[in-house]
Amino acid sequence: MKKTLVTGAAGFIASHVVDALIERGCSVAVVDNLSTGYERNLNSKARFYKIDIRDEKLKDVFDREKPELVIHHAAQMDVRKSVEDPIYDAQVNVLGSLNLIENCKRVGVKKIIYASTGGAVYGEPNVFPVTEEYTVDPLSQYGITKHVFEHYLSLYYKLYGLRFTVLRYPNVYGPRQDPHGEAGVVAIFTEQMLEGITPKIFGDGKKTRDYVFVEDIVRANMIAVDKGDGEIVNLGWGKEVTDFEIFDSVRKALRVEVEPIYAEKRLGEIDRICLDATKAKKVLGWKPTVTLKDGIAKAVEYYKKKKAGL
């Protein structure tokens, strides 16, 4: 599928996805309201529309571009913000996504690839790693709204034949991740250490997540263009990594001596998660390849160059 529309394309992960699509020779249009993304992340070969996915004018973009494939990353993705302002969270993640899928149906889009969350939909599991069959039981409004759109995708597939693949992301890290947001501890810790700021860990440092380098996530998106119709798949290593392990890995990569400050755990955040990607290997032929040590080294190098203005 050559004609592609990517939402949230000025953001961290989606901007890398756009680069990969363009390298494959696709004609790419991108949508982003720049509320959290950056114009500098946009590929100059993509046609950029500064627009919110909730906006009625999204219709004009679809009429002009008539995409065959949509890769949907635009979202309110801050767990803490979803707890504080659940109405806004639902407006973006549910109503905005519904506006998108209605336009997909209207112009005859063949497939949607949806960036969902494996870190938030399962809640606080008691089995590790977590498979897709595990009960969905979110502890945050963000987890709920991201899951709601999975149901819409399933319904539109059954009613209208609109194909989809849901990719439930782990904690993704790498170049272009925003160090000023609430998510992305690799970016946050790296930039803080480079600035001489003592990093803060929320909780006791034992909270775990499953960390996958952005290149591996992009590869899953590229495979899903042609595979995985009607499927929901976890992406992950199936390994728990603690907040302190991330802190220590960044500290060692930067060769600095610093100890973290510990702060109160934030509402809506789960204690432990890691994702079983057996289904991704079976359905997509995908598994992660970039080790945590190598990935953090690449990420740290990116932020060092950025700080040096290179």
Segment 139-155 mean pLDDT: 98
Nearest C-alpha neighbor of 259 from the set 208, 180, 192? 192
142 is known as an active-site residue: yes
> Domains plus CATH for the chain?
3-172+212-234 (3.40.50.720), 173-209+239-273+290-307 (3.90.25.10)
pLDDT tens digit sequence for 26-62: 999 999 999 999 999 999 999 999 999 999 999 999 9
Is 1's pLDDT higher than 70?
A: no
Per-residue confidence band for 181, with pLDDT thresholds at 50, 70 and 90: low
pLDDT for 206: 97
Per-residue confidence band for 273, with pLDDT thresholds at 50, 70 and 90: very high
For the chain, percent of residues with pLDDT exceeding 70: 99
How far is the C-alpha of 198 from the C-alpha of 111, rounded, in Å?
Answer: 45
Cβ within 8 Å of residue 75, ≥6 positions away? 8, 92, 93, 115, 146
Segment 8-25 mean pLDDT: 98
Question: Percentages helix, strand, coil for the chain, rounded to the nearest 5?
Answer: 40, 20, 40
How far is the C-alpha of 70 from the C-alpha of 79, rounded, in Å?
Answer: 25
Stated pTM of the model: 0.97
pLDDT tens digit sequence for 95-140: 999 999 999 999 999 999 999 999 999 999 999 999 999 999 999 9
pLDDT for 213: 98
Backbone phi and psi for residue 166, each to the nearest 5 degrees, phi listed first: -100, 125
Q: Which residue in 49, 114, 142, 303 is the catalytic one?
A: 142
Q: Under a CB-based contact definition with an 8 Å cutoff, are residues 172 and 118 in contact?
A: no
Residue type, 175: P
pLDDT for 248: 98
Is 76's pLDDT higher than 70?
A: yes
**Strand duo 241-242 + 208-209: pairing:** antiparallel
